[in-house]
């Protein structure tokens, strides 16, 4: 049997290509592989950061930020993935025996699962008559007509409200009533376990499964959308969240703020006291969950976010607990001396200097609160 000499040349050329091809493309492949790994890490960090900070975004009415940030991170990751797949495809222009065996094995797995999936479809379809017995027609479901809420002008009211957390043996609040008039300042005091934070959560429309009535300007909460209620209020809890972003972004949170106003707020909250210790000032990148900040610094940032808001009702839960006495006093005085703000402040430490600034001090141990 004779072979044409060109076949020998072809085999030699292909052998050289198979040996040198991967070496030629090794560096581009490594580059794209590193970019893919970094993009994957970035996607994981940013998505985790956004969802961990959901409560902060929720309170500021920026729930759309979650969708936007996840979309941006996913798009960046997709571009890196496409680049890696492209270079891998170029590197494997000539399939090796191992690749063929792998493809054959994967093909068997895929078609085997498709066969099992077809049987699952038959099983699901067989349950359809049973599920139809429990299906509720959308025509039978009635949604309460929601009322448009104008700007807050009169009062918030809790009328004989009872609330019990799931799994608890007794209610945290029982037949609790409270009236909060516009532009007045209220301090809620009591030991732990008396429902101070629960009251703020209910006022902020975070809980729905309660008995009694909650109203704003005479309109029942159940007739209003969550967004309509929360657009009138700002809730600052005792566990502020810090995003993996710059200090400026953590304070401004996507809002339009003049440099003068930002500087003034930083001075009020005492951020200017540690600003000089940061490598890039307001542009310093903070870590996920504020791991490179103290508790007091995180609390100051959360307060700065609040002071940049123009909402008429402030619900404040132990907002100065991690601050030194002088800074805490200065911030509390600034908040309580704003004549147009309605303030409900939960505190374990009612200071003698701020006590006269409150219109009413509510001792929850004397108002039908469960112990």
In this prediction, residue 304 has a pLDDT band, given cuts at 50, 70 and 90, of very high
What is the pLDDT, as a whole number, of residue 38?
72
Higher pLDDT among residues 95 and 146, named by residue:
146
Chain position carrying tokens 């309605």: 342
Question: Largest Cα–Cα distance of the chain, in whole Å?
Answer: 111
Report for 50-59, 241-250, 321-330: range of highest mean pLDDT = 241-250
What is the pLDDT, as a whole number, of residue 90?
45
**pLDDT 10s digits, 144-185:** 556 678 889 999 999 999 999 999 999 999 999 999 999 999
**CATH number belonging to domain 155-366:** 3.40.50.300
Pairing of strands 211-216, 219-220: antiparallel
- CA–CA distances in Å: residue 352 to residues 149, 301, 319: 37, 25, 17
Mean pLDDT, to the nearest integer, of 340-363?
Answer: 93
What is the pLDDT, as a whole number, of residue 21?
60
Given a contact cutoff of 8 angstroms between Cβ atoms, the answer to whether 229 and 61 are in contact is no
pTM: 0.70
What is the pLDDT, as a whole number, of residue 127?
59
Which range has the worst mean pLDDT, 26-40, 45-59, 111-125, 127-141?
127-141
Q: How far apart are CA 352 and CA 371, in angstroms?
A: 27
Using alpha carbons only, give the angle 89, 91, 92 rounded to the nearest 5 degrees: 65
DSSP 104-144: HHHHHHHHHHHHHHHHHHHHHHHTHHHHHHH---GGG--PP
Mean pLDDT, to the nearest integer, of 302-327?
Answer: 90
DSSP conformation class of 148? P
DSSP 216-241: ETTEEGGGS-HHHHHTTEEEE-SS--
Burial class, 332, CB count within 10 angstroms (exposed 0-12 / middle 13-18 / buried 19+): buried
Chain position carrying tokens 């496409």: 82
**pLDDT 10s digits, 346-357:** 998 889 999 999
Q: Dihedral of CA 302/307/309/314: which sign?
A: positive
Mean pLDDT, to the nearest integer, of 13-36?
Answer: 67
In this prediction, residue 23 has a pLDDT band, given cuts at 50, 70 and 90, of low
Segments of the chain assigned to CATH 3.40.50.300: 155-366
Higher pLDDT among residues 223 and 95, named by residue:
223
Cα 336 → chain centroid: 28
In this prediction, residue 140 has a pLDDT band, given cuts at 50, 70 and 90, of very low
Chain position carrying tokens 């300007």: 217
């Amino acid at each position: 049997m004779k072979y044409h000499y060109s076949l020998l040349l072809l085999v030699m050329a292909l052998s050289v290509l198979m040996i040198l091809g991967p070496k030629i493309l090794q560096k581009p492949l490594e580059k794209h592989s590193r970019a893919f790994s970094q993009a994957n890490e970035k996607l994981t960090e940013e998505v985790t950061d956004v969802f961990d900070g959901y409560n902060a975004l929720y309170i500021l009415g920026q729930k759309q930020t979650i969708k936007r940030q996840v979309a941006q991170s996913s798009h960046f990751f997709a571009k890196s993935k496409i680049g890696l797949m492209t270079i891998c495809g170029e590197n494997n222009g000539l399939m090796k025996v191992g690749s063929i065996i792998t493809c054959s094995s994967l093909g068997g797995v895929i078609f085997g699962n498709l066969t099992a999936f077809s049987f699952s479809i038959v099983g699901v379809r067989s349950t359809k008559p049973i599920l139809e017995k429990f299906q509720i027609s959308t025509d039978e479901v009635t949604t309460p007509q929601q009322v448009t809420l104008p700007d807050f002008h009169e009062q918030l009211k809790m009328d004989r409200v009872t609330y019990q957390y799931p799994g608890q043996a007794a209610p945290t609040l029982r037949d609790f009533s409270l009236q909060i008039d516009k532009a007045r300042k209220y301090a809620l005091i009591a030991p732990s376990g008396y429902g101070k934070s629960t009251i703020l959560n209910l006022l902020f429309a975070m809980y729905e499964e309660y008995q009694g009535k909650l109203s704003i300007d005479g309109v029942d909460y159940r007739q209003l959308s969550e967004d309509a209620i929360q657009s009138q209020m700002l809730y600052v809890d005792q566990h502020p969240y810090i995003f993996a972003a710059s200090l400026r972004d953590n304070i401004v949170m996507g809002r339009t703020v003049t440099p003068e106003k930002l500087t003034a707020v930083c001075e009020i909250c005492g951020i200017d006291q540690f600003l000089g210790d940061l490598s890039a000032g307001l542009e310093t990148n903070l870590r996920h969950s504020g791991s490179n900040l103290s508790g007091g610094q995180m609390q100051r940032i959360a307060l700065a976010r609040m002071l940049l808001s123009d909402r008429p009702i402030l619900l404040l839960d132990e907002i100065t607990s991690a601050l030194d006495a002088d800074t805490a006093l200065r911030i509390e005085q600034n908040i309580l001396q704003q004549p147009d703000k309605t303030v409900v402040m939960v505190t374990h430490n009612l200071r003698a200097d701020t006590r006269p600034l409150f219109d009413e001090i509510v001792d929850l141990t004397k108002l039908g609160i469960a112990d």
